[in-house]
Structure 1
Amino acid sequence: MVIKSEELLESLLDLEKSRKREQDLRMETEALLQGLHGMARSRKKDELFKTLTDALHNVVDFEDAFILEMAEDNNMTVLASTCLAVENSIWEPKSVFNRVLAGRPIASFDIHQVPEWQAQPDNVKANIASALHIGLHSGGLDAIFIITHSSIKHFGTGHVKKANRFAPLASQALLTLELQQKVVQRDRFFKLSLDLMAIIDTTGILRQYNDVWQSLLGYGVKDVYGKRFLDFIHPEDAESIEAILHYLKKKERKELIEVRFQTKEGSYLWFSCSLASHQNEQLCYIVARDITDSILYRQRLAYTAEHDSLTGLINRGSFLSRINQEFSEAAEKEDYIFAIFFLDLNKFKTINDTLGHDVGDELLKTFAKKLQQVVHGRDVVARLGGDEFTILLTELQSPQNATSVADRIQTKFLHPVELKGHSIKISTSIGIALSSTQYSDAEEMLSAADHAMYQAKSDQSVEYVIG
């Protein structure tokens, strides 16, 4: 077969064009890959922008470049730019930008025909005739990389194809930078936080923590990393924390709990501990704030509300609550017996008025201590006010057990006590109420004991009276 010279020449030209396209594509690929290496090394957005600009310059001829990012108001602002005129410009996405953001690069032969460019002031458009718009997508960021030229119709179909190959690389580089910055921000947040922070894996092992573990709890690096989080929690709180961690493995949510962390010295501090899971990462994030002072203050308030400030005994309200518990106990157990003693110090007012309130206070504290020495187990002693005291005796075998305690109390005061240089003889009148008598409630039983005490006080021949 004879091949005509014109056909041969045409084939040779086609072959040369193919070789030229292959060579251009290879050079473009090498340039983009080289740019990608530079992108991976970028640690700041302005560094990445310069790397992107340099990489694209190797395959496309342009004069200026800038990146627009989507703002919260759905307008676009300038993230980085080589042109001062566009730095403070605000862009409203319309038909062209919306197509670009949807993943379609667009070459504009004449920017004056583009709605988004038409809305810009003349100083922004100065010395710009055509533009190539490339959409970038990275996580939550939508952006447009725009390169410009002063000549009309400078960018065409070939540039769009190159943009299609460039966009994924640039988007990936931007995403990588965002992730790196988030890690840096997280680490900075960890370092600067005054709260105790940690990240644990699904097995409960500590993978990251901040310096507060050392400043508050005293632990160094070797004490914490790779250890079980539960090892630092008070045994009484560990079960609750373990249940929360087990639940967080199954569902992404947040939990808040007050727990005690053990210090390196072995003491415990109270923390308000927030735990949150992230299912995609299979991690649990922990932020704990020291609330020890607050807990201790609450405990002091609760103690003050339930106790007498002078003697440390429980007060009237707490005593009545304990009696009600005994009523509940008696309702469940047949033949269950308990008793209430109502006591006051004989001639206390005279002692207080003649020897002074300091001696009177010391006498009340001494009286309280001696009463506490008589009771045992679940029995309780209370001060109702002034020189009035009460005792709750529980789990009595018989009424005679109550009278035996009354005898022991009187024996405690056979000898005078020495207070602030004074020898004082103490005596007390005791009224007793037994649960075997059918009382309807705690107040009624306490009133019966009070009445019995006054009977004992008026009859000097007896040391106690059973109501």
Structure 2
Amino acid sequence: MNSPSQQPDRRAQSASSNKGFEKGQHLDFLQGLPQAIAVVRVDLDIMGKPYDLVPVYGNDALFCLFDTPKEKFIGTSLNNSSINFTQWLGTFWETAYQGRVQKITDFWPVQGRHLMVTCHQPQYGYCTCLFQDVSERVLLENELDRNRQKLEALLHSAVDMVFQIDPVTLAVTNLEESLASHGDLFKARRVPEGLFQQGLFAPGQDEKIKEAVNLIRFGVGDCTCEVRARVELNGPYTWHSLTAIGYVEPHSGEICIIGFLKDAHDRVKERDDLLFRAEKDSLCGIYNRAAGESLITLKLGNVDEADPTRAAMFIFDLDDFKNINDSAGHSTGDTVLTAFAGVLREVFRKEDVIFRLGGDEFAVFAQNLPVERVIKIYERVAAKLQKPLVQGVFVKVCAGVAFSQTGRHSYDDFYKTADKALYNAKEGGKGQIGVLCLCGSGA
């Protein structure tokens, strides 16, 4: 590539051979174009370096754009002009003398606009400038950039990991490079490749993710659930909030889903602890009376009228419990209560509702239970009490049972009937069971 100082002869030749060009000959067809066009001569000093720009042609759109009459523009040095071309001397020189096609976008204070200038070489030593007002585009890009920065600031505090979820296979992949390249935050929140092999989500989380994806596929814009996941290689699975957001790909019309993970371990643990304290008996660790009643009412409300289910409520009362407190102390009494709650957990099923009514009274509600099993269950409880619940302390228990063939009764119906059956059992002595069946609206 030749430097300007090596081309004095060609510059002299150019200056002497372009008189017709500078008079605007053969350029009249450009006058009616809506796009502003200028032809500028790039003058060099004796060292061959660019030092001035001199417009030799402009169309009407150009003079309108710069609000300058033709006679004050054509043939006038731009060094001292209010139109700031001189900052681009080097750029125009590259086009005028090297033929390089270039595009420049800058803000022009006098016009108060963002202009893009496309530079071509019409002849050696000259630069044709095509002006395009790109203010709206630049403002839009700036607005998008500001919004992206706001989004990154928001995500920085709200998101630990960002990824895509395939709505059909539920496969998790990183964002496309085109999206992840916008800002460092998305890159920092990518899933480490090794986690795809180790497992981003803990086993057993698929159903939660599937449910969230199905909600989005059926029109819900976004949904959030709690999952056990990890964001570091070889890290432990902890509780995270998974937010899935769906959108429609404009070209294919397919539903796409982006997932966000945010650490929620402490919040979930705190909530579960509060829930435990609200629902569980602080001494025995089983449900308290209010929680038991609520759960039973919920189960009874879900009984299908067309498909009734047999159900029973047991009320257990420890015999002579007051004597244990009086003789062995309340601490021993508390241990006995806790141990008996453990017996009920061993005998009854996981889906049965076990709760403490208060004092030495406990209750259990069980569905899908044949009547013939009621006595066998009590016998299993009594058999476990053949051994001391705590060292040297034996107890017996009476039980009252309310049984329903249909399960279509209220909590009060079950409770009052079981309480009446318990009264009958205690009338017969210690370690007895009474059973009453619920028929219609009563026992």
TM-score (norm 1): 0.55
Q: Deviations over 1:159-209 (max 9, x none)?
A: xxx9x9454287699679859966995897599556225365989742333
Question: Where do residues 222-237 of structure 1 align in structure 2 (5 Å cutoff)?
Answer: 222-223=193-194, 232=201, 234-237=205-208
Deviation at 1:280, TM superposition (A): 6.7
Q: Deviations over 1:1-39 (max 9, x none)?
A: xxxxxxxxxxxx9983236658999973989xxxxxxxx
Higher helix share: 1
Query: 1:107/1:288 Cα in 2 relative to 1: closer, same or farther (>3 Å)?
Result: same
Which residue is equivalent to 2:174?
A: 206
Q: Distance in 2 between matches of 1:453 and 1:57?
A: 110
Query: 1:277/1:16 Cα in 2 relative to 1: closer, same or farther (>3 Å)?
Result: same
Question: Where do residues 290-329 of structure 1 align in structure 2 (5 Å cutoff)?
Answer: 290-324=263-297, 325-326=299-300, 329=303
Q: Distance in 2 between matches of 1:413 and 1:237?
A: 42
Q: Deviations over 1:288-336 (max 9, x none)?
A: 43223223322333333332222222222343345442575474336x4
Aligned with residue 400 of structure 2, among 400, 407, 431: 431
Which residue is equivalent to 2:315?
A: 342
Does residue 1:271 correspond to 2:248, yes or no?
Answer: no
Q: Distance in 2 between matches of 1:437 and 1:246?
A: 39
> 5+ residue gaps in structure 1?
1-12, 32-54, 62-99, 110-128, 135-140, 149-161, 214-218
Deviation at 1:235, TM superposition (A): 1.1
Aligned with residue 375 of structure 2, among 399, 403, 407: 403
Deviation at 1:433, TM superposition (A): 1.6
Counterpart residue type for residue 235 of structure 1: D
> 1:319 aligns to what SS in structure 2?
helix
Q: Deviations over 1:204-236 (max 9, x none)?
A: 7423334356xxxxx63x337xx79x9658312
Which residue is equivalent to 2:227?
A: 260
Query: Greater CA deviation, 456-465 or 361-370?
Result: 456-465
Deviation at 1:457, TM superposition (A): 2.2
Does residue 1:333 correspond to 2:304, yes or no?
Answer: no
Q: Distance in 2 between matches of 1:30 and 1:379?
A: 92
8 Å CA contact 1:274–1:288 kept in 2: the answer is no
Aligned alpha-carbon RMSD (Å): 5.2
Q: Distance in 2 between matches of 1:57 and 1:180?
A: 38
Which residue is equivalent to 2:356?
A: 383
Q: Deviations over 1:132-167 (max 9, x none)?
A: 599xxxxxx99653189xxxxxxxxxxxxx9x9454
> 2:132 aligns to what SS in structure 1?
helix
8 Å CA contact 1:198–1:210 kept in 2: the answer is no
Query: 1:440/1:206 Cα in 2 relative to 1: closer, same or farther (>3 Å)?
Result: closer
8 Å CA contact 1:413–1:427 kept in 2: the answer is yes
Query: 1:378/1:194 Cα in 2 relative to 1: closer, same or farther (>3 Å)?
Result: closer
Q: Distance in 2 between matches of 1:184 and 1:59?
A: 42
Counterpart residue type for residue 307 of structure 2: K
TM-score (norm 2): 0.58
Query: Greater CA deviation, 402-411 or 176-185?
Result: 176-185
Q: How many residues align?
A: 336
Q: Distance in 2 between matches of 1:247 and 1:104?
A: 55
Which residue is equivalent to 1:449?
A: 418
> 5+ residue gaps in structure 2?
1-15, 28-36, 44-49, 70-79, 86-104, 113-125, 181-185, 437-443
Deviation at 1:259, TM superposition (A): 4.0
Query: 1:274/1:354 Cα in 2 relative to 1: closer, same or farther (>3 Å)?
Result: same
Q: Deviations over 1:251-285 (max 9, x none)?
A: xx963423426214462432252637585799866
8 Å CA contact 2:41–2:55 kept in 1: the answer is no
Which residue is equivalent to 2:65?
A: 105
8 Å CA contact 2:319–2:431 kept in 1: the answer is no
8 Å CA contact 1:406–1:464 kept in 2: the answer is yes
Q: Deviations over 1:322-353 (max 9, x none)?
A: 5442575474336x432221111112123223
Q: Distance in 1 between matches of 2:295 and 2:221?
A: 38
Q: Deviations over 1:404-447 (max 9, x none)?
A: 2222222221233334xxx1111111112221499842212211
Q: Deviations over 1:329-379 (max 9, x none)?
A: 474336x43222111111212322332322111110111111222223643
Q: Distance in 2 between matches of 1:392 and 1:418?
A: 26
Aligned with residue 242 of structure 1, among 213, 220, 226: 213
Question: Where do residues 36-75 of structure 1 align in structure 2 (5 Å cutoff)?
Answer: 58=53
Q: Distance in 1 between matches of 2:223 and 2:107?
A: 38
Query: 1:238/1:143 Cα in 2 relative to 1: closer, same or farther (>3 Å)?
Result: same
Query: 1:261/1:186 Cα in 2 relative to 1: closer, same or farther (>3 Å)?
Result: farther
Which residue is equivalent to 1:46?
A: none
Which residue is equivalent to 2:389?
A: 417
8 Å CA contact 2:357–2:363 kept in 1: the answer is yes
Query: 1:463/1:186 Cα in 2 relative to 1: closer, same or farther (>3 Å)?
Result: closer
Counterpart residue type for residue 433 of structure 1: A
Q: Identical aligned pairs, as a percentage?
A: 20
Q: Deviations over 1:24-63 (max 9, x none)?
A: 99973989xxxxxxxxxxxxxxxxxxxxxxx9974569xx
Counterpart residue type for residue 333 of structure 1: D
> 2:378 aligns to what SS in structure 1?
helix
Q: Distance in 1 between matches of 2:407 and 2:158?
A: 60
Q: Distance in 2 between matches of 1:343 and 1:240?
A: 41
Counterpart residue type for residue 225 of structure 2: E
8 Å CA contact 1:262–1:268 kept in 2: the answer is yes
Does residue 1:458 correspond to 2:427, yes or no?
Answer: yes
